[in-house]
Structure 1
Amino acid sequence: MGIDSNRLLRHLPNIHNWADLYSKADLYIVTSDHHLGWPAPAFPNIKYLPGISLQPVQPLGGDMNELLEKNPSGVILASFGSLSVHLPNEIILNFIDAFQRLSQTVIWKIRHLKAEHRELLSQNIHVFNWLAQNDILGHRNVRMFITHCGNNGQHESIYHAVPMIGFPMYFDQFENAARLQQKGIGIEMNMRNFSSDHLVDNILTILKYNSTYKQNAKKISSILRSRPMLPKEEAAYWIEHVTQFGSGHLRPVTTAMSPFEMYGLDVACAGLVSLLVTIIALVCGSLRVIVFITQMRELK
């Protein structure tokens, strides 16, 4: 759902449009960083805080904890967000066929699964309308996360060192899925064009045949956990900091410049004019010399 620009800007009387908002913002909180992306330069008022939804794992209820504990082969968590209710029949059948062939317990968040599909579920597949995703991913017996690659979910998974299989569907999810594959912490698949055989092969690749996915996930998890505070705590710190001290010591002076000034186009134009004047002067001088030499030859 998009943001109503008019409603937002009504609460900001000194802001006239989105470009104005971007240039006058005191603080930018970006919910990603180089751990899953790539290093990039940033001004002091831009704070990269991946996994803003991360929080300490809470104890799970008796039934869920028993479900997570009982299978020595481990647990696979599958969740495609709130849009899973719109999955076509063929895709749901592919997932069911793949999941029932696994030795792991599959905990699947999917809303309003039809009765005809529930009848096909094997004993290792357990479906729920809602799950405490972060708490489940933090359980020691969870081996994999099958996800639509939402920003919060992927950071929760990496924080708990759980490798992923990504089925992106919308917007930034495609970039997120490409990153997890490039970083070697998961495999990207196409929701519109996959077979149950292909999914099972990829699951076994990560869990059985190629341990580097888990190793890479552990490494990035260790990096994320080495931060001095949780991302949401750091976000609160910087918001309070800017509220107390302002942002003059953080915001670059370029935010008050026009693009013409910021990129030095005024200096470039002055230099270009000087160069053109010099070239014209040289050309004119050369022509006068040539004319003079020609006239002298004619006089001889």
Structure 2
Amino acid sequence: MEIGYYPGCSLESTSREYDISLRAMCSMMDITLVEVSDWICCGTSPTHAASQELSHMLPYKNIQKAETHGIKELLIPCPSCLYSISHTEEACAKDALVRQRLADVTGYTHEGGLKIYHLLDFLRDRITLGGLQTMVKKPLAGVKIASYYGCLTRFFPAAADDLEQPSLMEQIIEALGGQTVEWTHKVECCGAGLSITRPDITQRLLGEILESAARASADCIAVVCPLCQSNLDIRQKGLTNSSGAPYAMPVIYLTQLVGIALGAPSTALGMEKLMVDAGPLLRTKGLL
């Protein structure tokens, strides 16, 4: 299988382990990732506040680059990038003025038809849960996992089957042999966007998320967003639970969990890049 791939800025910098583990996972599934040639930042975080036109222009250029190279299906693992690019494609489909303006500026007319996937619906629709089960070599047996969608993934209908109570990540984890937990904060915002301007709010939100996962007896938190992972992983230091003990909750990319279940060595999945070491947990469960 061959599919287009837009990594985005985070996966090329602060969240390299997401890119590393995604590539390793796809390699084990015999999937060829065709990275969009000369892709640019989609502008997801700041541009919509500065210019609505620019917030469409940057994603549109990436759509142009993908389609010019014959890409019909595009995997976008970052929810922020996914939202930006899919929102622009939707705007082109619904608003003739937006579509014409983007075509006039870029000299390229997008006719629609680019199929965009997030990691979750890609695994469900292209790999299938049954297909994933047949690939498992090391079931995640005994690992209690809190599935964390964050605040953006749930707004992409194909990736989140329900706005308030999505379950697709749980279905994938259970196909890997893992045990999912019921908890209260799986779609709550982690405050990554406020980490510089209002770190006090970010710390409070993180504390609530970690406390919820701990109350549910989770061994780790599974994530599909680079901003959520960095925020929850890095900023645990200094936070304590209701008993006053420091948190040590591994925050693991779903791609890393898939890779482990498929038998990949941890070194091929970027596990050493996690700030909260998942090694002790995985060794205890016989997965390393």
Q: TM-score range by the shorter chain?
A: under 0.3
TM-score (norm 1): 0.25
TM-score (norm 2): 0.26
Bigger Cα Rg: 1
